[in-house]
Structure 1
């Protein structure tokens, strides 16, 4: 992967003050000291909304779903796991038996913390990555997205800073923005989060007098960058955060999906007191059941349970018991190996097609696990502006701008290889290459479409906050 330098954008990440101003504008209220003409809206409730709703915006990725799901379009955009290899016949029998035998408990309210047996099984799963945990410190959640929301809810006040890799998971950015935090990106490279960039970013934020509440990181098979935090960097990242009193929020949905069966030591395994760990069954079993978990220091776990009780009362008992039965009655680790082989074949198909079809000036990561390749288009190509033209060529991708807070990622795109067949991946990449070639012809004829600097997994630079 090439080392693309990045300069600060003319339009940096939205500050909390800017977010409030945007909220006032949307609600028809003028900021203090200013007069404004009335703002008319078709929504009769506009003036009733809380200011924090200004941070609630539809993600670019979700907006793509309706287009990308059309059968004639090869979608390299979504992150849906491929479930074709699941043993659905035996699963259906287990679910029927569960309802028949244990239906009274499976269909009843449950504990806000989750089914005890499942929490014990989760501890066994985390042990595969070096984590020693007690079931009492595990809370089952409605997917790890809920856990992310709960952590942000209990730790962050409006204006607090959350550090996140650049680029970062779009769902996390949405949660952080909804609580009116100031998201500051930290630079990455082929070996994941850069410790030197982390130090510099912390210093810059501290000089501005802002509070950093936590670092959000996906250390393994990153979404969307596809890179993995080098083992030798992990202790250094933890030490830096501990020195500055910064909590670490470790999101690890892809950790067991290394293509060669490799696993990496979880950050939580090295610093149990300062790391909150998020896990999920969405990528290794069934995303539709929406079962995830959070492992936290005991006092933090107590706060999370209180937050969960007021939000959902309890996670669905039936779904938890289905997951628990699956873990008990099936060779789930053998099934994970099937997934590893399946995704490796698709990764190979994508990398091969990129090498074969892409024009000069393109660059991409080479993931050794997970779902995604992070792709950088040639100079002058704006991936977000090109997307409608790609769709007319019957291929879809996720524009890189959706994975940043602020105006970054215009030359980047996330290419997903998890769901399409290898043949469809090859055809999709061919169509995408043709689209990029046509775009380059337009650039040569009419001038550059890219008005903003490039930014890849190693960018933006730490001084863009």
Structure 2
């Protein structure tokens, strides 16, 4: 029987995290594995009111086909928040509403990547981007992350070697929780302008800062900005699958064409409900509440790690976002540790899948947003027992 699959499918694998989540479906397992917002933070009643209002006042229109660019009022709201919260000049015409920010990655791949193009990615890097870009068969060039951002020497070497795209998450990166310093942001922007590399800046976690000061986007520091991605998934409701991208000129036009070919437009009714929600509720106060809750969860996890983990284990201490990163002593396999941890009914994500260049055997990711403090305390105790048994 002939092989009917496209060759590109041989380079793409199932999402490792999605496979782990099947294991953690057991309610007795304390899971730090999923990159999930806490459902307590979902504005259920406000969304219910918004949905009733939309269907009651403009039901037929909200259920009809719509424009590819997205709801104009919603785009105006997003552009206004960029101006108000980030001092970034974005017009509604610079925005395309997408089906989650994951679709942004797919559209970028379709528009900009040919087989063999060099894509620079952080090491460790976001698994969703690795999976999405892999469909277009690029050559990944991994640049190590330091505590304040990418290794600039390695980054410039990658740019000078013909990189076409640089994808990064400068704020509370997934999976590491690390953020770029202001100095690194300026240096990265300078290198991007020097070499003309297209920067795809993913910012799903930037709003979730609970310590320190907000820093400017790299996008705003470039003379010739690239593409900036955003999402309502972490600040409102991930199930609505509403994200967006910021691009201008011919780039935006090409991305619109790609989206038309992909899905015509993002769901009209979910955009309308989100529009109604953001226009009639205090979104800033809602975000502040999320940050307060997630900050407390982060503090509990860090405190428990300090108390129970061996001194030979290192962890990041993020000032925002949803994750922290754990590095075990050299020679330890987090894949093997995972099996031991599951025996104690606690789960995490091993770090190896986040690396495109090998490595990461002794690393793992912990999510603190979706477990309540008492579960965090018990889960870290169980994980610490597994680690202490494992690293002897």
Asked whether the two chains share a fold, i.e. TM above 0.5, the reply is yes
Instruction: Give 1:247's aligned residue.
Output: 198
Q: 2:379 aligns with which of 418, 428, 433?
A: 428
**Residues 235 and 270, structure 1, Cα contact 8 Å, conserved in 2:** yes
- Per-residue deviation, 1:437: 1.2
Matched, 1:80 2:36: yes
**Which of 200, 218, 226 does residue 169 from structure 2 map onto?**
218
1:238 aligns with one of 186, 189, 192:
189
Among residues 128, 145, 157, which one is paired with 1:171 in the alignment? 128
Give the C-alpha shift of residue 125 in structure 1.
Answer: 2.0
Give matches, 1:231-310, under 5 Å. 231-260=182-211, 262-271=213-222, 273-310=224-261
2:113 corresponds in structure 1 to 156
**1:438, CA displacement in angstroms?**
1.3
Q: Do 2:202 and 2:230's aligned partners in 1 also have CA atoms closer than 8 Å?
A: yes
Q: 1:261 to 1:243 in 2, by over 3 A?
A: closer
Aligned equivalents of 2:56, 2:287: Cα separation in 1: 28
Deviation at 1:157, TM superposition (A): 0.3
Cα distance in 1 between the residues matched to 2:170 and 2:298: 19
Equivalent pair of 2:177/2:324 in contact (CA under 8 Å): yes
Change (3 A) 1:54 1:231: same
TM-score by length of 1: 0.82
TM-score, with normalisation over the residues of structure 2? 0.97
* Residue 319 (str. 1) matches residue 232 (str. 2): no
Partner of 1:97: 53
Structure 2 residue matching 1:223: 3-state secondary structure: coil
Distance 1:85 1:198 in 2: 37
Q: Which runs of 5+ in 2 are unaligned?
A: none
8 Å Cα contact 1:380/1:440 also seen in 2: no
Q: Quick check: 2:46–2:277 contact (8 Å CA) kept in 1?
A: no
1:56 offset after TM fit, Å?
A: 2.0
Find the counterpart in structure 2 of residue 111 from structure 1: 67
Cα shift at 1:146: 0.2
Relative to structure 2, which stretch is displaced further, 287-296 or 421-430?
Answer: 421-430
Residue number in structure 2 paired with 1:3? none
What SS class does the counterpart of residue 165 from structure 1 fall into? strand
Displacement of 1:272: 6.2
Instruction: Specify which of 215, 222, 227 is matched with residue 178 of structure 2.
Output: 227
The whole-number CA distance in structure 1 between the counterparts of 2:95 and 2:41 is: 29
Q: Tell me whether 351-360 or 264-273 shows the greater mean CA deviation.
A: 264-273
Deviation at 1:196, TM superposition (A): 2.2
Report which of the two structures shows the higher radius of gyration computed on alpha carbons: 1
Native 8 Å contact 1:249 1:276 kept in 2 = yes
In structure 1, what is the Cα distance between the partners aligned to 2:212 and 2:287?
A: 9
Q: Does 1:54 align with 2:15?
A: no
Q: For 1:170 and 1:101, locate their aligned partners in 2 and report how far apart those are by CA, in whole Å.
A: 41
Report the alpha carbon displacement of residue 376 of structure 1 after superposing the two structures with TM.
0.5
Secondary structure at 1:164 match in 2: strand
Cα deviation, residue 97, structure 1: 1.6
3-state secondary structure, aligned to 2:77: helix
Q: Which residue of 1 aligns with 2:336?
A: 385
Asked if the contact 1:86–1:335 (Cα under 8 Å) also holds between the matched residues in 2, the reply is no
- Assess if the C-alpha contact under 8 Å between 2:341 and 2:383 holds in 1: yes
The equivalent position to 2:319 in structure 1, one of 348, 368, 387, is 368
Q: Distance in 2 between matches of 1:359 and 1:261?
A: 28
**What is the Cα deviation at residue 243 of structure 1?**
1.3
Contact 2:142 2:357 survives alignment (8 Å): no
The question of whether the paired residues in 2 share the 8 Å contact of 1:59 and 1:402 is answered with: no
For the Cα contact (< 8 Å) 1:166–1:187, is it kept in 2? yes
1:329 is the counterpart of 2:280: yes
Q: Is the 8 A contact 2:190 2:222 kept in 1?
A: no
Q: 1:35 corresponds to which residue? A: none
Write the distance in 1 (CA, Å) between the matches of 2:43 and 2:311: 43
Q: Are the equivalent residues in 2 in contact too, given 1:272–1:297 (CA < 8 A)? A: no
Deviation at 1:237, TM superposition (A): 0.6
- 1:279-328 per-residue CA deviation (whole Å, 9 max, x = no partner) reads 00000100000000000122100000000000001110111111111110
Cα-to-partner distance string for 1:1-59 (whole Å, 9 max, x where unaligned)? xxxxxxxxxxxxxxxxxxxxxxxxxxxxxxxxxxxxxxxxxxx6x70111111122112
Name the residue aligned to 1:138.
95
The residue number in structure 1 matching 2:348 is 397
SS at match of 1:220: coil
Structure 1 outlier segments of 4+, above 6 Å: none
Partner SS state of residue 284, structure 1: coil
Structure 1 counterpart of 2:24: 68
SS in 2 for 1:310: helix
Write the distance in 1 (CA, Å) between the matches of 2:42 and 2:367.
20
Matched with 1:181 is 138
